Amino acid sequence: MIIVTTRQMQQMDKNTIESFGIPGRVLMENAGRGAIEMLSEHFDLEGARVAVVAGRGNNGGDGFVIGRYLMEMGVSVSFFLLSTRDRVQGDAGANMDLVLELLAEHALSQFIEIPDKDALEAVTEILLDHDLFVDAIFGTGLNSDVRGIYRDVIELINNSGKAVFSVDIPSGINADTGAVCGVAIQADATATFAFAKAGHILHPGNFHTGDLEVVDIGIPGHIAKAQSPHIFLPEPHDIAGLIPARAFNAHKGSFGHLLVLAGSPGKTGAAALCANAAMRSGAGLVTLGVPEKLMPVMEPMVVEPMTTALAQTSSGALDAAALDDIITLLADK
């Protein structure tokens, strides 16, 4: 899994829009469509009442796209804008306008503005009367502490006990460090766009992220490559590709014989872990050489590796007198 910084992601978006000619609204549509697929897979939407809680930026715009798809699926959706409509501009504003146009056809849906604490107090009961929250308050650009009604709403959502789906990153998490900016959404699942961010992986951001999926929004490969992402999180399929295939007629003698010299009084666990790990990682044969008086302790701890007793000092560590035996053991290893 490739990890990018906030700056790299912003530059990819900018270059895709300005240099490659894909409109930002298309990227936002792709993001929302991909997120709704993950949302549908992770949560039971039948009969659910969903609250889309949106900020006035592009993260809120992604939330409007998600909410629009939910309405078209027949889901009861309430939109809570933590601002006023006139302050939502650009692509986010365009998608908000689409939602407002559709509201007349969807009796189960509503749009509520929450510009201040008085407005929040007036609708708190309505806000909490939902089964699932879509967190579209802040995106990856957040770099200061969450305050005011934003903090109040995040705390209400976290204390509600309801399911939460975050858009791009849980609101309140620094996308580059994983730090909590005062307070942060505790999500059950998060759909992030184009690439994962460090804040999804680093603690405590990983704890707030929940299940993470990366949504392809159409960033061209050459534009992504130009940013030279240099952080990589190996996944099982990445590791699987590094493991060489074994011949059908291979046996334990085909994969080497490793000699492990380890162990001293009080440190037998480390020796056992090392020898067992060598077997697990693919060595054909493993011999564990330990100070002789540790043999009764070591043998029950290692099943597959072989063991051999070596000369020890008065303190129970390996003695230099064991050198000749070690050299003999190294033959053909």
- For the segment 105-131, the average pLDDT, to the nearest whole number, is 97
134-156 mean pLDDT: 98
Give the mean pLDDT of 162-187: 99
pLDDT at 4 over 80: yes
CB neighbour burial string for 146-169, b if at least 16 within 10 angstroms, e if fewer:
beebbbbbbebbbeeebbbbbbbb
What pLDDT was estimated at residue 241? 83
Using one digit for the tens of pLDDT, what is the confidence trace for 66-106?
A: 999 999 999 999 999 999 999 999 999 999 999 999 998 99
Q: Does this chain's domain 2-239 share its CATH topology with 253-330?
A: yes
Rounded average pLDDT over 124-146: 98
Contact 326, 308 (CB under 8 A): no
Instruction: Let me know if domain 2-239 sits in CATH 2.160.10.10.
Output: no
| DSSP character at residue 108 | T
How many residues make up the chain in this entry?
333
Q: How confident is the model at residue 56 (pLDDT cuts 50, 70, 90)?
A: very high
pLDDT of residue 255: 94
pLDDT of residue 118: 98
Beta pairing class for 2-4 and 231-232? antiparallel
Under a CB-based contact definition with an 8 Å cutoff, are residues 85 and 118 in contact? no
CB atoms within 10 A of CB 307: 19
Residue 244, pLDDT above cutoff 90: no
Domain positions in the chain are 2-239, 253-330
Flag whether pLDDT at 333 surpasses 90. no
Tens of pLDDT, residue by residue over 188-206, are: 999 999 999 999 999 999 9
- Residue 235: C-alpha distances to residues 1, 42, 176, 273 (Å): 7, 21, 20, 23
Alpha helices in 88-190 (DSSP H): 90-103, 117-128, 148-160
pLDDT value for 140? 97
Q: What average pLDDT does the segment 240-247 reach?
A: 87
Total-model pTM: 0.85
Please tell me the predicted confidence (pLDDT) of residue 240: 86
Structural contact between residues 111 and 123, judged by C-beta atoms closer than 8 angstroms: no
For residue 178, what are the CA distances in angstroms to 37, 40, 154, 169, 219?
25, 26, 17, 10, 24
Q: What are phi and psi of 81, to 5 degrees?
A: -90, 120
Confidence tier at 210 by pLDDT (50, 70, 90) = very high
Share of the chain above pLDDT 90, in %: 95
Residue 7 has pLDDT above 90, yes or no: yes
Gap between the Cα atoms of 98 and 146, Å rounded: 29
- Percentages helix, strand, coil for the chain (3-state, rounded to 5) are 45, 20, 35
Average pLDDT of the residues of the chain: 96
Query: CA–CA separation, 274 vs 91, rounded Å?
Result: 56
Mapped to the 3 state alphabet, what secondary structure does 241-252 carry? CCCCCCCCCCCH
CATH architecture of 253-330: 3-Layer(aba) Sandwich (3.40)
pLDDT above 80 for 332: no
